[in-house]
Structure formats: C-alpha cells, structure tokens
Structure 1
Amino acid sequence: MPRVTVLVPVYNGASHLGATLTSLLAQTYKDFELLVIDDGSTDNSVKIIKSFSDPRIRVMQQENVGLCSTLNRGIQEARGEYIARSDQDDISFPHRLDREMTVADTYPEALGMFAYNTKIGEKHSWTNSDKLTPTNCVRVYDPIKDGCLLGSTMLARTSALREIGGFRERYYPVDDWDLECRLAEKGQVLVICELLVAYRFHRDASTYRVFSEMQQKRYWTKDSHRRRVQNLPELSFEEFLAQLPGNIRARLQRRRLGLWKLHTRIAGQHLLDGNYLKAAVNLTAASFLHPIDISKRIRRMLLRERIPVTTSGETSVESGTSPQEAPH
C-alpha cells in the first residue's frame, strides 16, 4: 500500500487542473497514490484527468454531492497511512511531500501538519512578509492565533481524520478551519514554516460567491472551538446568530469588517492579475473601511526586506528541537 494518499476533489476545474496534477506527479517523494474524485463535473475535467497515464492515479466519479462529502469519501477510500490534500487549482512545489513526510517521521506523535504558501495570479506571485522566514522551523499550530491555514498544504494521519469525522457540511465554507480546530483538539498539529504550495487566486474561485456566509461562519467556528475546549456544547448556527449583539452599532461593525476583508481580497486578486487601476479602486475602498490595516499593508509592500527563502526542502528541524521550542 502507498504510504500517502494525495486527495484531489474536482468540480469543473478544467482551467487549472492539468497544472495541479502535473505538480503532484512531479513530487520527489514517490510513495503515494493520487486519488482524484470528480464530483459530477460538466466541463472537461474528467477528460483532463484521464489524459494522465501514471499508474499512481486512481479516479472516482460520482454525482454532484458537494465538497465536504467528496472529501469525506476520499478519507474513507484512502489507502495511505497519511492523506495529503490538494485543491484542483493549487500547485504543490516538487519537494512538498518529501518535506512533510520528513517532519512526520521526525514527530511521529503529530496527527497532522500544514505549511506556508505563496499566492499566484495570472501575471504575478506574492508572498506575505511574515512568511518570508530566514530560518525554517516547525512549530505547534494554534487554531486562534494561526486561523485557517491553506487546506492544500495539509498532511494528516488518515486514522485521525476518520476518528474526528472528517469535514462537517454545516460549517461550509469554513469547514477546513473547523477540521483544523478539531484535529488540534485531538492531538498535536504542526506548522512547517516553509513555502510548499502556490495558492492560486482567480476570479472563478468559490470564495467570492460565499464570502458573506464565510465571515459569519468564521465567527461561529471560533466560538465552537472555544466551547469544545471548555467542555461546553456547541451552538447551532442559528443559536449562535441569535446570541450575537443585536444593536445597530455591533451589526455595522461586523458589516464594516466583512466589506474591508472583501475589498482587500479583490484588490489582491487584481494586483496578481496585473489590473493595477482596479486594484487601486478596491484598495481605496478598503482603506476607508480599515485605514490602519491598509496603511500597514502598503508600508510592508513598499518597505519589506527581501529575505532569502529556502524552497529546496533541504533545511530540516534542528536535532533535539521540539515543535514547542522551535522559533515562531
């Protein structure tokens, strides 16, 4: 049996699917199966998948049931000891699995891990300055401080994902953060402070269609995590919304923060695509909504130091260093 199952859920992903699969098949780590589950695509996705003849590819097709159910089917069908997830439009660097499996073998008690990512658009790529670490490290994941990390960087024990029940549909579209929280509650989850995946920004991403719901459920996910840690029962989404402050000021504050995040996201999209005028419009709107944050972002963009980043995967955790002691 392969040691790793690389799980790729697909739904109408023809635009970028070929590049994603190519990056996964080019991994320097070879002991894996590539489980691709097509969730009822109506474009050329299946044709693209079947154009690859690599024997490591295992293809499943089904009627459309949604992302969470597709991922959960993959968790049950996986043959590997570990599951590495990749979305249909992201690019894994060649050493990604090698690096993650090295960390998995170094910390066998860990249930899973995530890594940093760069962002790519039609014309440019970008890495946040706080991810340009001069010294690579491995540290413990904190659900509140770290927030939701990119699902396409995940490597986790198959048994642990099954034990916690996989992805929960009711938390979609922040089901990935909900899973990360529950995995961290179950045992040790690590963060590899290296760029292992390129996260693709594109206008067809589902993020824009569900952005408003995403913001509400982000607060709910955080509340549910804190309740579980305190051994309190979770609230349903409706119960959570009902207990939020209902005064006009509180509602306007939540609305302001949601719009600020949306305009910031769209501005980043335009910058990566080379649409600088459109980016300036959204950045201006974001600056009215949250001037302090935007001024900090612009200052970092203009003045950040170019720190050399290791992407070869050659740097490893220092001998005798535990994740808790590794530099943040």
Structure 2
Amino acid sequence: MISFSIIIPLYNKVNYIQNCLKSILQQTHQEFEIIIVNDGSTDGSEKIVEKFEDPRIRLLSQENQGASAARNKGIAVSKYEWIALLDADDYWYPNHLDKLQNTIEACSKANVVCTNYEILLDKTYLKQASFSTEVKSKPMYIENYFKASLIDPLAWTSALSFTTSIFNKVGGFDTQIKSGQDIDLIVKFGLKAKIAFNPKVTMRYHRTTENNLSDMTGLRDKLAYINKHTSEEKRNAWLKKYMDINRFSLGIQAKMKGDNELFKELQHDIDLSNLNFKQKLLFNSSGFILRTLKSFQQKLIQKKIYKSPFK
C-alpha cells in the first residue's frame, strides 16, 4: 500500500480548513501524513487545526511567504515518496487517495498522477471539468499534457500527486511567481514527467473563496508564469498553444479592467491562430462588451447554465 504525504498551505482559511481536514480523515485509504504549513495566518486558522488530535497531523508555521514557499517547506520535511497536494479551501471525496493509488499501480511508469475533479462555480452549481482529449473509463497515460488541457487543465492542484524525485528534478515551486505557481509546476511536469490520469471525480474545487490568491494578486503578476517558458514554446507547438490560451484569458481580464498596456503586451506575444472562433471574437471585443458578457455569464451561472469560450 502506498503512503502519501499530504501538503496543505494555510493562509486565512478559517471557514474552510475544518472541512478540508475532515475530508482527509474520512478517506478510505488511511496510509498518510498531513503536513500543514501555516503561512502567517491572521484569522486564527491554525487554532482550528490544533483542535484535531490525530497524530498524523503536523502543523508548521512561518511568516507569510506565499503558497509556493509553504508547499516547498512541507514537501522538504515529508517522509513519504508520494506527495498529494490539497489547498485549504478545497475538499476531497473519500475515494481520492484510493484512486491515486489505483492510478499509480495501473500506470507504474508515471511519476505524476492526477484525478478528475469538479468545480463549484457558486454556492449550489457544480460544473464538471472538460478536457481537450478523449477520457477513457480507467487510468490512462497522458502523452501530451498541453494538448489535453486546452479547455480545463487536466491536472488541478488539489487533485495532483507526484514523487519527490520528479518534484526536485523540475526545481519545485518557483517562489518568485506570485500567481500561477501551480500552473508553472504543472508545465514543468508536462515537459519532463510521465503523467497519468484517472477519470474518476475525487475532489471539489471552490472557484470563489475568501482570500483567494489569484484574486488578490495583480494581473501583471500573472505574466511571470505565462512568459517563463517562452524558449520551450519555440520548440513545442502544443505548449505554445496552451500558453496562448493563458495569454488570451489574461488579455480578456486586462481589457475588462482597462489595462490597455498589459493587453497590448499579450496581443504582441499571442499567435491568434491558436485561438478558436469565439476566443478571437472576444479578444477583439471592447472592454464594455466583455464586462457586459461577463455579467450575463454570472446570471446564467445562477440559473445553472455555463457558457465558456474554451469550447
């Protein structure tokens, strides 16, 4: 049986961390340790953790340095080869670790594995992840991660597991990136790792939560992960397309917020042939039209209807 070191970065998630930990302790697979790195929380999140008496839980603390530094610290002191990531505001279903183990056993050459997931768009509407590859009914190797991730990313942070060996080989989380560190890590895995995917849904991602890092950082901060792999993009057409999809998303946000300088930078670097018709149309729309469409999308979500430019 495989043992997992579960790493949770914790920053001001007092309303989520209890359910997060309960979802781990309710796993059908019970061979694990939990390492929580309190990244300078100011809301008493660590006090919730201290109420749990399970000896497998270890609580470390550091001054606020960001999720990358917290995850790196947790992984550095972990005792098992296989690492499983979980964000403090996400939730595993009881089968998560079992399905990770099944995937590792079925795809023995893999050093990175991930499971399927669903996305909570608002309080009541769950969206199923969609991928740009055929998903089989059993664990499968992913030959081209970037080709498979042009709609939703095949690997989501809290559904991801990997060996410490491949993590160290790719250099771990980049602490210089303020937003998108997880995407950067998965890009490095996509370039150097052997990845396997399990189609079973085993975790829930909350898209909108309190103190969400992607909401708190500036748009320009996201350029760091987008432009980091430009040399590899020249040699890998699918990576270029994958990163252009990310440039498209950031460009839409920039235009909606009136950051024309950032939009022009992204427009210069993007290959529009990598976008579909809807994406090209949106990319050339005005900020006013984009804001109006975004508002309309939110109303549709409330009616449990989701329309996306990615498919």
TM category (shorter chain) comes to 0.7 to 0.9
Of 141, 144, 163, the match for 1:142: 144
Higher relative contact order (CA 8 A, sep 6+): 1
Q: Cα deviation per residue 1:92-133 (whole Å; 9 max; x = unaligned)?
A: 111111111121122222111122211123222221455996
2:94: which partner in 1? 94
Shift of 1:215: 5.3
CA contact (8 A) 1:177 1:221 kept: no
Q: Which residue of 2 aligns with 1:206?
A: 213
- CA drift of 1:209 comes to 2.9
Identify the range of structure 1 (88-97 vs 218-227) with the bigger mean alpha-carbon deviation: 218-227
Quote how far apart the aligned CAs of 1:225 are.
3.8
TM-score where L is the length of structure 1: 0.69
Q: 1:142, CA displacement in angstroms?
A: 2.7
Q: In structure 1, what is the Cα distance between the partners aligned to 2:62 and 2:265?
A: 46
Paired residue type of 1:146: A
Range moving further from structure 2, 147-156 or 69-78: 147-156
Gaps of 5+ in 2: 238-261, 273-279
- Of 172, 188, 194 in structure 1, the residue corresponding to residue 194 of structure 2 is 188
C-alpha change, 1:26 and 1:187, in structure 2 (3 Å) is: same
CA deviations on 1:131-155 (whole Å, 9 max, x unpaired) are: 9968344231534223443110111
Distance 2:87 2:202 in 1: 14
Q: Aligned pair 1:223/2:230, yes or no?
A: yes
Question: How many pairs are equivalent?
Answer: 269
Provide closer, same or farther for how the CA distance between residues 46 and 266 of structure 1 changes in structure 2, counting only shifts above 3 A.
farther
Q: Secondary structure at the match of 2:109?
A: coil
CA contact (8 A) 2:177 2:221 kept: no
Residues 45, 182 of structure 1: alpha-carbon distance in 2 compared, 3 angstrom cutoff: same
- Indicate if the aligned counterparts of 2:14 and 2:44 stay in contact, CA closer than 8 A: yes
In the aligned structure 1, how far is the partner of 2:88 from the partner of 2:182? 15
Matched with 2:251 is: none
Q: 1:265 to 1:15 in 2, by over 3 A?
A: farther
**Structure 1's 35 and 261: CA in aligned 2 closer, same or farther, altered over 3 A?**
farther
In the TM superposition, what is the alpha-carbon distance from 1:256 to its structure 2 partner? 3.5
Is 1:27 matched with 2:33? no
Match of 1:324 in 2: none
Query: How many angstroms apart in 2 are the aligned matches of 1:184 and 1:175?
Result: 14
- In structure 1, the residue matched to 2:164 is 158
Q: Which residue type is aligned with residue 138 of structure 1?
A: M
Alignment of structure 1 residues 22-171 onto 2, 5 Å: 22-120=22-120, 121-128=122-129, 135-140=137-142, 142-147=144-149, 148=153, 149-171=155-177
Mapped to 2, the partners of 1:248 and 1:159 lie a distance apart of 35
Q: Structure 2 vs 1, CA of residues 11 and 51 (structure 1 numbering), >3 Å: closer, same or farther?
A: same
C-alpha change, 1:58 and 1:271, in structure 2 (3 Å) is farther
Residue 50 (structure 1) shift: 0.8
* SS class of match (2:123): coil
**Gaps (5+ residues) in structure 1?**
231-243, 288-292, 298-328
Q: Following the alignment from structure 2 to structure 1, what is the Cα–Cα distance between the partners of residues 137 and 299?
A: 31
Give the distance between the partners of 1:171 and 1:84, measured in 2 at CA.
21
The residue type equivalent to 2:208 in the other structure is: H
Partners of 1:5 and 1:250 lie apart in 2 by 42
The alpha-carbon distance between structure 1 residues 213 and 196, as it changes in their structure 2 partners (threshold 3 A), is farther
SS in structure 1 at match of 2:15: helix
Q: TM-score, normalised by structure 2?
A: 0.72
Q: Distance in 1 between matches of 2:294 and 2:209?
A: 11
| Matched-pair contact (CA < 8 Å) for 2:113–2:161 | yes
